[in-house]
Chains A and B, each alone.
Chain A
Amino acid sequence: DAMVIQNPRYQVTQFGKPVTLSCSQTLNHNVMYWYQQKSSQAPKLLFHYYDKDFNNEADTPDNFQSRRPNTSFCFLDIRSPGLGDAAMYLCATSALRGGYNEQFFGPGTRLTVL
């Protein structure tokens, strides 16, 4: 089945220790997104790739970086996690067919910072 996969589902890191979250898709969608979602809050867009073009949100901290080496994979790097970065990180994809952007989400990675 075509899908969006996130690994790991749960990640524990230490304060200040770099961490990488991964996302892969079998949908062959050209747009990939990373969202941060804190408890009982709306998902907040961090950045997205439209093909190879990287689009950063203005309020995304510099601590967050992303890589998309190919169509299928996208990574979220947190260079120096702080306690405030503990959250669910959601990856999503979209094909933008006809200009409409239904998004397909992975199950998320829950990040704990100790």
Chain B
Amino acid sequence: SQQGEEDPQALSIQEGENATMNCSYKTSINNLQWYRQNSGRGLVHLILIRSNEREKHSGRLRVTLDTSKKSSSLLITASRAADTASYFCATALIQGAQKLVFGQGTRLTINP
């Protein structure tokens, strides 16, 4: 299965700290994306990193991609209570790139 695995499954930190979530996958990809989901809501796209990119930034988000290890990480710096959500990585295969396969997600809780 291409499905990504995320680590940790749950993470609880204090406001202001940095949060790091990891994602691993099994086969070659076209791109990898990260999404956020607030409880009971739809997913929101955060960032897309292409297979030929190694690092990407967007505001307080930093994503890395290591295709040799088939892994990615999402770093949220200076966390806020509003960052509390589930975070999913999703991979797009080289063949059939219009589909995404989602990982199981990391449940992030930011404590005030």
Residues of A within 8 A of B (CB): 4, 6, 31, 40-45, 48, 50, 88, 90, 92, 94, 96, 99-108, 110
Contacts and interface: CB of A to CB of B under 8 A. Distances in A.
A42 B42 contact: no
Contact of B30 (A40, A94, A99, A103): A99
Interface stretch (B11-19, B58-66, B67-75, B98-106): B98-106
A102 B30 contact: no
Interface of B is mostly: strand
Nearest to B41: A107
A105 B107 CA distance: 19
Interface of A is mostly: strand
Which of A99, A104, A106 neighbours the largest number of chain B CB atoms within 10 Å of its CB? A99
30 contacts: A4-B42, A31-B98, A42-B103, A42-B105, A43-B88, A44-B102, A45-B100, A48-B99, A90-B42, A92-B42, A94-B98, A96-B97, A96-B98, A99-B97, A100-B31, A100-B92, A101-B92, A101-B98, A101-B99, A102-B33, A103-B33, A103-B100, A104-B45, A105-B35, A105-B44, A105-B45, A107-B41, A108-B41, A108-B42, A110-B40
